[in-house]
Amino acid sequence: LTPVPSGHRPCGTASPGSGWALSRRPAARPADRPVPQDVAALEYRAPHLAAASLAFAFPAPPAGSRVLDVGCGTGLVARELQRRGFGCLHGVDGSAGMLERARGTGLYRQLQRCVLGWEPLPGPAEHYDAVTVVGALGEGQVPCSALPELLRVTKPGGFLCLTTRSNPSNLRYKAELEAALQRLEQQGAWQKVLAQEVERWERATEEEESVQGTGYISGVVYIYRKCPVPPLEEG
């Protein structure tokens, strides 16, 4: 483990030396994650839809809320979150190249390298008000077995915003993911807030992947809230 690089800015009550570290494990293949020049061509809507859903679920102004963007890529989700008032953003990704591009946006207060599913997230328990995983839950990407690790770093009452595709080549993974989501809900780990199916998620690059010949891939946004949810304050 190496020290947190200088230049990372602490946020809220977080300590810049509270155990965050860079992983030296080789990066997993970031399958099918669009880079900025592809976004317009693909009409990639996942970052916008995820950020809008998370902002809608939040019970209070999000400016001081700490958010972890898992599989942050080049910062597409961070841009959408910032537009909705989220200002304290941390990111992790398995690709050093992606992290460099994310760092160039200036949107993140901390960026760390981590291959989720093969190593723990580089942060303390119950640290984040929200955790997002957008564009990284799919076949050959983050395994469903990583869900408890996402919960670990989320505060009680905090939100988890997850997305996946519904195209044919990802249906097996989607079924496994939804079974894992349901098991955790039945165990009392979290409560489902939203599961929104979206037909025009992004343009299909292969016709057999599109929804009924529309030329688009479908997808889904899930919002869960970690239990126990704090009681409402009276008055």
Based on the structure, what is the number of domains in the chain? 1
Helix 76-83 with 46-57: angle, nearest 10 deg: 40
Q: Residues 153, 130: contact at Cβ < 8 Å?
A: no
Domain membership of residue 167 (yes or no) is: yes
Domain membership of residue 71 (yes or no) is: yes
Domain membership of residue 66 (yes or no) is: yes
Domain membership of residue 107 (yes or no) is: yes
Q: Identify the CATH number of the domain in which residue 86 sits.
A: 3.40.50.150
Domain membership of residue 169 (yes or no) is: yes
Q: Enumerate the β-bridge partners of residue 111.
A: 91
Domain membership of residue 46 (yes or no) is: no
pTM, entire model: 0.81
pLDDT per residue, tens digit, the chain (235 aa), is: 233 333 333 343 322 222 222 233 333 333 444 544 455 556 889 999 999 999 999 988 788 899 999 999 999 999 999 999 999 999 999 999 999 999 999 999 999 999 999 999 998 999 999 999 999 999 999 999 999 999 999 999 999 999 999 999 999 999 999 999 999 999 999 999 999 999 888 888 877 777 677 788 899 999 999 998 665 555 4
Domain membership of residue 75 (yes or no) is: yes
Residue type, 175: A
Report residue 50 as tokens: 């995820």
For residue 5, what pLDDT is reported? 34
Domain membership of residue 146 (yes or no) is: yes
pLDDT in tens, 140-189: 999 999 999 999 999 999 999 999 999 999 999 999 999 999 999 999 99
d(CA 120, CA 193): 26
d(CA 166, CA 74): 23
For residue 31, what pLDDT is reported? 41
What distance, in Å, lies between the first and last C-alpha atoms of the chain? 47
Q: In which domain, by residue range, is 95 found?
A: 62-187+216-226
Q: Residues 78, 134: contact at Cβ < 8 Å?
A: no
For residue 63, what pLDDT is reported? 85
